[in-house]
Amino acid sequence: MKKLVFALALSLFTAPIFAQQGPGDKADRTPEQRIEMRLRKMAEQLNLSDEQIEAVKPILQDFHQAEAKAREEQKARREEVKEKLSEVLSEEQMSQLEKMREDRREKGRGMHKKHRGG
């Protein structure tokens, strides 16, 4: 009986910890792992043949590479804009702009959680 009560209490306290981790901690996966996972899901849900799986894999790899390149280019453009703005705006205005951006980011995160049910 004591073991049952202990197990129940343990599960009550540890369940919220695991619930907060999210579905598989995507940030911890390598790009290759994310591609493989996506490919497995597609294969299961679409009932892909082996030939289709082999054809889809390079398509997903190319897409991932293009997306990574686009993210890097976008990051470079943001840095360029920030640099140009710093030549025009005062330090105080730049600080205020950064705060506005952070507020917008936080608001976006809140909306994301709201839609995920968090």
- For 7-54, what is each residue's pLDDT tens digit? 544 555 554 444 444 555 667 889 899 999 999 999 999 999 999 999
% of residues, the chain, pLDDT over 90: 64
Distance of alpha carbon 54 from alpha carbon 42, whole angstroms = 12
Contact status, residue 57 vs residue 86, Cβ threshold 8 Å: no
More confident call, 26 vs 101: 101
Average pLDDT value for the chain: 83
Distance of alpha carbon 16 from alpha carbon 2, whole angstroms = 23
Q: Is 106 helix (H, G, I), strand (E, B) or coil?
A: helix
Which amino acid, residue 28?
Answer: D
Distance of alpha carbon 58 from alpha carbon 43, whole angstroms = 14
Alpha helices, DSSP H, located in 20-90: 31-46, 50-88
Alpha carbon distances (Å) from 65 to 5, 16, 18, 35:
51, 36, 32, 11
More confident call, 82 vs 9: 82
**What count of Cα atoms within 13 Å lies in the side-chain half-sphere of residue 94?**
11
Averaged pLDDT for residues 74-83: 96
Can you give the pLDDT at residue 15?
Answer: 46
